[in-house]
Amino acid sequence: MNQTNTFSLDTIKIITTTEIKKHISEIIDKVKYKNRIFGIGKKNKIEALVIKFPENFNNKLSKITNVNSNSSSFNFLEKEPDLYNINNLRKT
């Protein structure tokens, strides 16, 4: 893949539609097996994302919840102390 057409925006690589057409198999493998995220766009502006489909998709949850549960969006919370426990829950 031509590295001059890609750059890193945190963990997202931005690629052109031409490049994804040329390297679709390689890109899908990187998404599927290495959890890479690709942004498809022009002039460093992302217009669409290619992300891994959640392995444990739950039809009872929203699409965004399923995507977030499969991403590293909330990994920062792993370092946070547990401030609440089951006794903090209220019945409604």
Kindly tell me if the per-residue pLDDT of 4 is higher than 50.
no
From residue 88, alpha-carbon distances to 14, 77, 79, 83, 84 in Å are 43, 18, 21, 10, 6
pLDDT at 10: 60
Kindly tell me if the per-residue pLDDT of 1 is higher than 70.
no
Kindly tell me if the per-residue pLDDT of 69 is higher than 80.
no
* Model pTM score: 0.59
* Higher pLDDT among residues 33 and 77, named by residue: 33
As a whole number, mean pLDDT of residues 38-57 equals 87
Amino acid sitting at position 4: T
- Could you give phi then psi for residue 67, rounded to 5 degrees? -65, -45
Q: Where are the domains of the chain?
A: 3-77
H helices present in 4-77, as ranges: 17-22, 24-34, 63-70
